[in-house]
Structure 1
Amino acid sequence: MEETKKEVLQFQSEVKQLLGLMVYSLYSNRDIFIRELISNASDAINKLKFIAISDSSLYEKEHDFEIRISLDKKNKTISIRDNGIGMSKSDIIKNLGTIAKSGTKEFLKFSKDCDKKNINQLIGQFGVGFYSSFIVSKKVIVKSRLAGSERSQGVLWESEGTGEYSIKYEDKVDRGTEVILHVKEDQEDLLSHSKLSNIIKRYSNHIDIPIKMKTVDRRENRTFWKQINLATALWRKDKSNISENEYREFYKNLFKDSFDPIFWMHNKVEGTQEYISLMFIPSKSSIDLWNREKKGSFYLYVRRVFIKDISDQVVPNYLRFIRGLIDSEHLSLNISREILQKDENVRKLKKQITRRILNSLEMLSKNHPEKYQMVWDGFGSVLKEGPAEDISHKSSIINLLRFSSTFVEDEQQTVSLREYCDRAEKGQNKIYYLTADNYISAKKSPHLDCFKNQNIEVLLLYDRIDEWMMNYIFEFRGKEFQSISKNDSFLEDTVTQRKNDIIISDEKIFQPFLKRVKMVLEKDIKDVHMTCRLEKYPCVLKTDKNEMSSQMAKLFSSVGQSVPPIKYDFFLNRSHPIINKIMKIEDENLFSRWVKTIFNQALLIEQGYLKDVNQFIIDINQLLSS
């Protein structure tokens, strides 16, 4: 028959340029080819299922659908075969030959200067997914027969992806399509059964069609077809039909974690933007959690097919510990389905996902505080990045913050701002806090003395990020935040207003003494004051309310930033025996040594270091010996 003769058809002159664009520019990951070919096979099976509803004869007595993949190391080929709808000769020319249409030139021009929305509409119209097979193949053969047609109507299509392709009729018993890839020499590692199966599991583990690979049992000397994918997407099942153990096992399998998650969030969103999300909070933080450049683990699926990790596009950085997935058909992908377009839908999705996570954490903290404490203990320091990064959700983030406190005996951060405000002193209009290098330094700070005496709660902040975070949190429930290391924390509190008059009168009485102290330390301090609010310590240093704090200076220094020297206000405890002793010293040299020594003590407590520790030790030893 004339029809059985091979037809050799020339591609248009632009096809080489287009294939080069697709193979070397559109795809950054060669493994994408197996995802695209399996997706095509799955679509062909689903199309047959749909059409056969009205014409069951198309099943041709075979109802068990599957995709079979086999390797031939001798001939260096990979075969992907489905028993779906198949293609006729005209279908193959239309579906695989579209690339050869005269519209190619317009597509090439269009891809350079059209808007992203229109580019997205071209997906599938030029055989892009199928032609990804030329990333790894020097020749591709397609055998196909349309369901319901005669076996003699099978079609053989063949191309090396250069200037031409051939097509002819060929007997084919089974309906469906088989794609045979002749693998390039530099891609022969794909002929490894384990390597290829791992790639398939990564991208196509959850499509609802069984994927089977031809497997050799060497002990029994036989070959068989082994299913390698799960063929189910747990997130697409109704929540009421999923057990807690199923959620846990799914999480551990998908994210390769040996520990159960603390909590999970499973939601189906309908409306203008339809998607399913399944998110988990792990029980253990990853080693690279503090690397802000490291992506999280948040995966995008389209119709159960894995596309890519999209953590950096839909999850804010301060929630990078969240692991999860989205299955959506409405997000704009680029033509290779590798890149998520930065359009309005993506921004809306990020906002929705963020709000859902924060709301879920808030509900967890109310209904299961012990579980939320586990979340905070593991990831609280990461959440603290939120107030600076996400203004639109700042109030929600602040509700989730937990702190150590002078009202709690251990260093665990358990106190919420709501709790603090509920037990604040009557008339207290500020939320007091102290930042320090560690819990012990905070707990024993001289800044706490007067607040302990007044029974005023102070939040103790000792994570490195705390000082930076507090620059973005200004008030809660109408109460301003007040660092007690600032000098205005002594002078402007209505609860301790009675003490203010004492301080002012002290400074009048002790003016000559304060003047002597200031002369000794004039290069190091702004001013010197008497106070009656210290108990254990002879003195304390405080910064002006508008000046950089000691903790912030240390934070900048730790990342290599230069910091101007800080000039403190020096407060002396009028009732401390050491101050009373210094006041009586007439010898100016001895007086100067004592003043510098207590100043350096306060500086060491405030900054955690001294520029000249040796001189400090010498001064202490001389004073002790005398």
Structure 2
Amino acid sequence: MSNRIETLEFQAETRQLLQLMVHSIYSNKDIFLRELISNASDALDKLRLESLIDKELQADTSDLHVTIEADKEQRTLTVRDNGIGMSREDVVALIGTIAKSGTAELLQKMKESKDAAASQELIGQFGVGFYSTFMVADRVTLLTRRAGQEEGTRWESTGEGTYVVETVDDVPQGTSVTLYLKPEDTEDQLFDYAAEWKIKEIVKRYSDFIAWPIRMTTERTDEAGATTYDVQTLNSMKALWARPRSEVEPAEYNEFYKHVSHDWSDPLETIHMKAEGTFEYEALLFIPNHAPFDLFMREGKRGVQLYVKRVFIMDDCEALMPNYLRFVKGVVDAHDLSLNISREILQQDRQIQAVRRRLVKKVLGTVKEMLADQPERYRTFWNEFGRAVKEGLVEDRDNQELILDIVSVDSTHDADQPSTLRQYVERMKDGQKDIYYMTGESRGMIENSPHMEAFRAKGYEVLILTDPVDEVWVEQVGAFDGKPLQSIAKGQIDLDSEDEKADTEPEREQAKKDFAELLSWLTGKLSAEVKEVRLSSRLTTSPACLVGDAQDMTPTLEKLYRAMGQEVPHVKRILEINPTHPLVTGMRKAQEQGTDEEVLSETAELLYAMALLAEGGELKDPSRFTRLLADRLARTL
């Protein structure tokens, strides 16, 4: 590169984030060292893997480690590794910008958050740990050389908006980060991060499980005043997932979770398992306490870390965890895989597929146990991840029944407490054969829908489904525990008992005769919009509603497919009218009396439009509707 020294500006969002971090007060600044050590550990993992795959790589892997150096007089702290290192391009791409989706949302949340602990959690979710160094340092210098390359790169910034990148020679393999610590007497009341005791305390608390040695030269003074220097390894280096669960403290699990997830809060649930037999592996999985911002972003990372015989293979191994469980974090250490296995091979590997099946059943089984034994923890889980889990009802037919057992949805039974499908079935009325539900954009819209009238009047519970994925899974699942899932906005609905039907049968037959001519006329008049007009048994107070045939696609599902770029034919629906409503009986009398055809036609058009609006639909010509309605209202004055 011709220009060996450049002064560059941070990406705008990076600059905003730096300012927020530097000028906010956080309850635990110790985290910065954990993040630097975690980055160093990742670099060592990557070098080890690359050296195993690329035998031509010119890199020294004989003593991979992390070194911490502190200078109390100069007030500097350096974290150095001899791992994979970075090229100049890597430095600009990874350090100069935040290459993460959803940064704008992060900034907005941080600005809204008044709580320091909450702000820490937000930062952790985006893995921007390197920038946390500016909470404790006035200036940060990074020196790095990628393994196999000759030239190194020096990066430096005060976090004020610009950074300097310089190409340099004679740089050792790996990366070192030097922090020029803030004075001890600042308003922040910082601990002395150059003090040996403080460094040891942080490493023991947060990084004891790191697989590589973390070394520091310690100073000792004997009784005679003589000073000696010893190189100490500060961490135990024990792979947490390889230890028996009985030997691991909860705090150790929590810190390991933070290491693999870059989250600053403890996990909601820990799953530690070991499989023996034809294919051996250990797994340490975590269900987070809250959903990441990128849970529903296409670019969001998913999958767990894959190791083979303690050798790191890859982050975000999608082959081990289905998309609907993308929030699960952790490690799987397989014993019998090839070290140079690729992502493509993983997708087809029979052993990996077997591991995936076991992991999925274990995660879903753990949630089911949570539902039975720890309902509050389950509610936290479902509030955060339920929408993603329901995707599995469409994607994972093999585990559909297990997923159905842990699904919770809103219900008319309780406005504040969601209900499981099992709880709904236990509350079903005597003689009730179907599980009733309705999909829509919001609870309020569904509760106020004309379709709910008969169900409310007769005390039938209805499930309220408002997530977009609900439109898909209820159609594909079809039934639960042998009970069909029945949309109250589809097909013929008749909630009367056999005795009630017998009592009202004469009235029904008479109504069919009385309204036959009007129904025929309305079907012809509205043929461009509906395929049939019929009398309704589901309405009690509204004049009309729109319903679909049992196998019809819903309007919302039509919109979803079109939003995804799929062309689907428009499905005409059925207009049901209430034979006891004054508007409907008035239309019948007007028709019998020979009222002007234009007046009846406009009334029919208004009747259809009101039914469409009542379910949240969109009118093709809103201005015409308002004009007709205004004219009709004016005639009544």
Q: Per the shorter chain, which TM-score range? A: 0.5 to 0.7
SS at the partner of 1:620? helix
Q: Is it true that 1:438 corresponds to 2:451 in the alignment?
A: no
User: Aligned partners of 2:50 and 2:472: how far apart in 1?
Assistant: 50
TM-score normalised by L of structure 2? 0.65
CA deviation vs aligned residue, 1:208-228 (integer Å, no higher than 9, x gap): 663436799xxxxx9974657
When residues 191 and 459 of structure 1 are mapped into structure 2, their CA distance, relative to the original with a 3 A threshold, is closer
User: Aligned partners of 2:602 and 2:218: how far apart in 1?
Assistant: 86
Query: Contact (CA 8 Å) 1:67, 1:212: kept in 2 or not?
Result: no
User: Aligned partners of 2:432 and 2:618: how far apart in 1?
Assistant: 34
When residues 241 and 462 of structure 1 are mapped into structure 2, their CA distance, relative to the original with a 3 A threshold, is same
**Aligned twin of 1:378:** 384
User: Aligned partners of 2:317 and 2:572: how far apart in 1?
Assistant: 44
Aligned residue type for 2:539: L
CA deviation vs aligned residue, 1:427-455 (integer Å, no higher than 9, x gap): 22111111111111111111111112222
Which stretch shows the higher mean deviation, 315-324 or 564-573?
564-573
SS at the partner of 1:409? strand
Q: Is it true that 1:620 corresponds to 2:603 in the alignment?
A: no
User: Aligned partners of 2:505 and 2:330: how far apart in 1?
Assistant: 55
Which stretch shows the higher mean deviation, 583-592 or 426-435?
583-592
**Aligned twin of 1:599:** 608
User: Aligned partners of 2:291 and 2:231: how far apart in 1?
Assistant: 39
Query: Contact (CA 8 Å) 1:332, 1:341: kept in 2 or not?
Result: no
Find the structure with the greater CA-based Rg. 1
Q: Is it true that 1:479 corresponds to 2:483 in the alignment?
A: yes
**Aligned twin of 2:513:** 508
Q: Is it true that 1:571 corresponds to 2:583 in the alignment?
A: no
Query: Contact (CA 8 Å) 2:279, 2:335: kept in 1 or not?
Result: no
Query: Contact (CA 8 Å) 1:540, 1:602: kept in 2 or not?
Result: yes
1:34 to 47, 66, 86: 47
Q: Is it true that 1:212 corresponds to 2:224 in the alignment?
A: no
**Aligned twin of 1:449:** 453
**Aligned twin of 1:589:** 598
Aligned residue type for 1:512: E
1:539 to 534, 544, 548: 544
When residues 554 and 134 of structure 1 are mapped into structure 2, their CA distance, relative to the original with a 3 A threshold, is closer
RMSD over aligned Cα atoms:
3.9
User: Aligned partners of 2:299 and 2:505: how far apart in 1?
Assistant: 49
Q: Is it true that 1:358 corresponds to 2:355 in the alignment?
A: no
* Aligned-residue offset at 1:520: 2.2
* Aligned-residue offset at 1:564: 2.4
SS at the partner of 1:253? helix
**Aligned twin of 2:396:** 390
When residues 228 and 496 of structure 1 are mapped into structure 2, their CA distance, relative to the original with a 3 A threshold, is farther
**Aligned twin of 1:580:** 585
* Aligned-residue offset at 1:279: 1.1
SS at the partner of 1:279? strand
Query: Contact (CA 8 Å) 1:437, 1:462: kept in 2 or not?
Result: yes
Query: Contact (CA 8 Å) 1:507, 1:529: kept in 2 or not?
Result: no
User: Aligned partners of 1:369 and 1:553: how far apart in 2?
Assistant: 36
**Aligned twin of 1:321:** 327
TM-score normalised by L of structure 1? 0.66
1:294 to 283, 291, 300: 300
Aligned residue type for 1:570: L
Query: Contact (CA 8 Å) 1:597, 1:620: kept in 2 or not?
Result: yes
When residues 67 and 604 of structure 1 are mapped into structure 2, their CA distance, relative to the original with a 3 A threshold, is closer
What pairs with 1:150-299 in structure 2 (closer than 5 Å)?
A: 190-193=174-177, 206=209, 210-212=213-215, 225=231, 227=233, 231-292=237-298, 294-299=300-305
CA deviation vs aligned residue, 1:27-86 (integer Å, no higher than 9, x gap): xx997663259999xxxxxxxxxxxxxxxxxxxxxxxx9866789xxxxx9979xxxxxx
Aligned residue type for 1:258: W
* Aligned-residue offset at 1:326: 1.1
**Aligned twin of 1:420:** 424
User: Aligned partners of 1:333 and 1:571: how far apart in 2?
Assistant: 65
**Aligned twin of 1:112:** none
Tell me the number of residue pairs that the alignment of Structure 1 and Structure 2 aligns: 463
User: Aligned partners of 2:391 and 2:409: how far apart in 1?
Assistant: 15
* Aligned-residue offset at 1:374: 0.8
CA deviation vs aligned residue, 1:351-382 (integer Å, no higher than 9, x gap): 11111111111111111111111111111110
* Aligned-residue offset at 1:294: 3.2
Aligned residue type for 1:237: R
Aligned residue type for 1:382: A
Aligned residue type for 2:475: N
Query: Contact (CA 8 Å) 2:209, 2:256: kept in 1 or not?
Result: no
SS at the partner of 1:482? strand
Query: Contact (CA 8 Å) 2:147, 2:174: kept in 1 or not?
Result: no
Q: Which runs of 5+ in 2 are unaligned?
A: 1-41, 54-61, 69-79, 84-144, 152-166, 180-206, 220-227
When residues 578 and 252 of structure 1 are mapped into structure 2, their CA distance, relative to the original with a 3 A threshold, is same
Query: Contact (CA 8 Å) 2:393, 2:477: kept in 1 or not?
Result: yes
Query: Contact (CA 8 Å) 1:550, 1:606: kept in 2 or not?
Result: no
Q: Percent identity?
A: 32
Q: Is it true that 1:136 corresponds to 2:148 in the alignment?
A: yes
User: Aligned partners of 2:342 and 2:437: how far apart in 1?
Assistant: 52
When residues 401 and 520 of structure 1 are mapped into structure 2, their CA distance, relative to the original with a 3 A threshold, is same
User: Aligned partners of 1:187 and 1:490: how far apart in 2?
Assistant: 81
Aligned residue type for 1:416: T
When residues 450 and 186 of structure 1 are mapped into structure 2, their CA distance, relative to the original with a 3 A threshold, is farther
Query: Contact (CA 8 Å) 2:515, 2:588: kept in 1 or not?
Result: no
What pairs with 1:454-469 in structure 2 (closer than 5 Å)?
A: 454-469=458-473
**Aligned twin of 1:519:** 524
User: Aligned partners of 1:543 and 1:324: how far apart in 2?
Assistant: 45
* Aligned-residue offset at 1:337: 11
Q: Which runs of 5+ in 1 are unaligned?
A: 1-28, 41-64, 72-76, 81-132, 140-182, 196-203, 217-221
User: Aligned partners of 2:175 and 2:424: how far apart in 1?
Assistant: 63
CA deviation vs aligned residue, 1:184-234 (integer Å, no higher than 9, x gap): 969878353569xxxxxxxx9846663436799xxxxx9974657662222
User: Aligned partners of 1:333 and 1:494: how far apart in 2?
Assistant: 69
* Aligned-residue offset at 1:584: 2.9
User: Aligned partners of 1:189 and 1:613: how far apart in 2?
Assistant: 69
Query: Contact (CA 8 Å) 1:433, 1:484: kept in 2 or not?
Result: yes
**Aligned twin of 1:88:** none
User: Aligned partners of 1:521 and 1:502: how far apart in 2?
Assistant: 27
CA deviation vs aligned residue, 1:164-198 (integer Å, no higher than 9, x gap): xxxxxxxxxxxxxxxxxxx9969878353569xxx
User: Aligned partners of 2:46 and 2:481: how far apart in 1?
Assistant: 56
**Aligned twin of 1:151:** none
**Aligned twin of 2:164:** none
Query: Contact (CA 8 Å) 1:318, 1:382: kept in 2 or not?
Result: yes
Query: Contact (CA 8 Å) 2:307, 2:333: kept in 1 or not?
Result: yes
CA deviation vs aligned residue, 1:15-38 (integer Å, no higher than 9, x gap): xxxxxxxxxxxxxx9976632599
